[in-house]
Amino acid sequence: MIDVLLMFLKAFVVGGAICTIAQLLINYTKITSGKILVYFLLAGLFLQAIGVYKYIVEFAGAGATVPICGFGYLLAEGAIKGAKAGLFGAFTGGLASASAGVTAAIVFGYLNALIFKAKSKKN
């Protein structure tokens, strides 16, 4: 029981720290949210490429894999594993490792579009 609570706490702290950094960038800089999204994805990719992000994932679990930097980590991990099979594997490895998450995002996005009516944001 204590192990599960500790796992939740670590995931919450790391995921919360990632989200806090993003929120601070939104609040105190003029960087658009789209650029922040790309920067976080590239940060996860870069940190995995140099071998650091895997330790964050081992420590925090879903707290590190669920934010967008976890998607960058997943792409880099797949490309590194695919590169062992050759150049083509390096290009397709990231896509293969992230395919389940991308498919889920598309399917659930489509289902939400069928269920809910889109509304424009009023300024």
Does residue 103 lie in a domain region?
Answer: yes
Q: How many CB atoms lie within 10 A of CB 66?
A: 16
Does residue 122 lie in a domain region?
Answer: no
Number of domains in the chain: 1
pLDDT at 93: 87
pLDDT at 19: 93
Does residue 39 lie in a domain region?
Answer: yes
pLDDT at 123: 57
CA pair distance 89, 79, nearest whole angstrom: 7
- Name the residue range of residue 108's domain: 2-115
Under a CB-based contact definition with an 8 Å cutoff, are residues 96 and 78 in contact? Answer: yes
Under a CB-based contact definition with an 8 Å cutoff, are residues 71 and 44 in contact? Answer: yes
Does residue 105 lie in a domain region?
Answer: yes
Does residue 121 lie in a domain region?
Answer: no
Q: What is the pLDDT of residues 104-123, one digit of tens each?
A: 889 999 999 999 987 776 75
pLDDT at 42: 93
Does residue 74 lie in a domain region?
Answer: yes
Does residue 94 lie in a domain region?
Answer: yes
CA pair distance 115, 46, nearest whole angstrom: 38
Would you call 47 exposed, middle or buried from its count of C-beta atoms within 10 A (0-12, 13-18, 19+)? Answer: buried
Alpha-carbon torsion (83, 87, 91, 97), positive or negative: negative
CA pair distance 93, 78, nearest whole angstrom: 4
Q: What residue type is assigned to position 88 of the chain?
A: F
Does residue 8 lie in a domain region?
Answer: yes
- What residues of the chain score a pLDDT lower than 70? 121, 123
